[in-house]
């Protein structure tokens, strides 16, 4: 019965990548379908925050959702939960549309989520789409693990990618949700390395270093590149998931 339901949640699967599911699986299940199972539950964690003039505010949610859908397509025994769509994004609060619940609220949310879900889930995997959630996620997962709950996390990391609303994220969105990308509004932001920008960002947020909110350069992004990036992220996450060896901070 589960496999039939799973098949309905994915819009399509292509050789190049996986399209995001419209309806997260957990939302579709009934409780008797989970009775007696101890599934690994995958929870996308995103953020609602500015992504420059050309990408939607929920970019990080869409990316985390797409990675979770990619995992589900390759490992149908997983259960994918609806995303935790809000995160810690105070660095972007200089731009309208950003809604950050901050470190304390996110930590509590993740810990209570884990405590509740682990009453029936065997394992809990947070798929993180927003770098600003990282310190909070580590704290929450460490707490859950300390309490004996088998929680872990993986990043939606794109090796060598630019930090924010640049070529990597724009390519990913072009692959995942092409209609959500305003390519005509894409323009370069601050292209200096993040390590150079961090001191100014800590004091004044993204707005202090980038007028348009972009860190990187979205010009040159493409759906083809996005499909490749997404496939790489899913491959890496899947390998980590199959190994399931949480390191310091609970990262797989």
HSE of 87 in the Cβ direction (CA atoms, 13 Å)?
A: 32
- Residue 153: strand pairing partners: 126, 251
Under rule CB under 5 A, residue 162 binds Zn ion = no
Cα angle: 14, vertex 128, 40; to 5 degrees: 75
Tell me the DSSP string of 132-190: GGHHHHHHHHHHHHHTT--EEEEE---TT--SBSSHHHHHHHHHH-GGG--GGG----B
CA 177 – CA 218 distance, rounded (Å): 16
User: In this structure, is the dihedral angle defined by the CA atoms of residues 21, 123, 86 and 196, taken in order, positive or negative?
Assistant: negative
Which residue number is nearest to Zn ion in terms of Cβ? 60
Which residues inside 60-79 make contact with Zn ion, applying CB under 5 A? 60
CA 150 – CA 199 distance, rounded (Å): 35
Q: Which is nearer to Zn ion, 41 or 214 (CB)?
A: 214
The one segment of 58-66, 86-94, 147-155, 186-194 that binds Zn ion by CB under 5 A: 58-66
- The CB-of-4 to Zn ion minimum distance in angstroms stands at 34
Q: How many residues bind Zn ion (CB under 5 A)?
A: 2
The one segment of 6-14, 55-63, 172-180, 181-189 that binds Zn ion by CB under 5 A: 55-63
Q: Which is nearer to Zn ion, 41 or 66 (CB)?
A: 66
The one segment of 52-60, 76-84, 152-160, 199-207 that binds Zn ion by CB under 5 A: 52-60
The one segment of 57-65, 102-110, 189-197, 226-234 that binds Zn ion by CB under 5 A: 57-65
- The CB-of-208 to Zn ion minimum distance in angstroms stands at 18
CA 191 – CA 211 distance, rounded (Å): 12
- The CB-of-230 to Zn ion minimum distance in angstroms stands at 14
- The CB-of-85 to Zn ion minimum distance in angstroms stands at 13
Q: Which is nearer to Zn ion, 23 or 208 (CB)?
A: 208
- Binding residues vs Zn ion (CB under 5 A): 59-60
């Amino acid at each position: 019965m589960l496999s039939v339901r799973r098949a309905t949640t994915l819009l399509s699967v292509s050789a190049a990548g996986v399209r995001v599911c419209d309806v997260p699986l957990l939302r579709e299940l009934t409780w008797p379908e989970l009775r007696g199972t101890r599934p690994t539950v995958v929870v996308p964690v995103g953020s609602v925050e500015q992504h420059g003039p050309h990408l939607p505010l929920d970019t990080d949610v869409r990316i985390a959702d797409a990675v979770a859908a990619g995992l589900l397509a390759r490992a149908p025994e997983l259960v994918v939960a609806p995303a935790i769509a809000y995160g810690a994004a105070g660095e972007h609060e200089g731009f309208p549309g950003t809604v950050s619940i901050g470190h304390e609220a996110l930590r509590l949310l993740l810990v209570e989520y884990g405590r509740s879900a682990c009453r029936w889930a065997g394992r809990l995997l947070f798929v993180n789409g927003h770098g600003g959630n990282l310190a909070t996620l580590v704290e929450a997962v460490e707490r859950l693990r300390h309490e004996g709950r088998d929680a872990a996390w993986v990043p939606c990391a794109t090796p060598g990618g630019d930090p924010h609303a640049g070529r990597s994220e724009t390519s990913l969105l072009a692959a995942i949700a092409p209609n959500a990308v305003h390519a005509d509004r894409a323009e370069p932001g601050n292209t200096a390395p993040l390590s150079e920008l961090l001191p100014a960002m800590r004091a004044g947020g993204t707005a202090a270093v980038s007028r348009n909110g972009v860190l990187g350069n979205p010009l040159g992004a493409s759906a083809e590149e996005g499909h490749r990036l997404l496939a790489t992220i899913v491959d890496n996450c899947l390998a980590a998931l199959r190994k399931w060896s949480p390191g310091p901070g609970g990262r797989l």
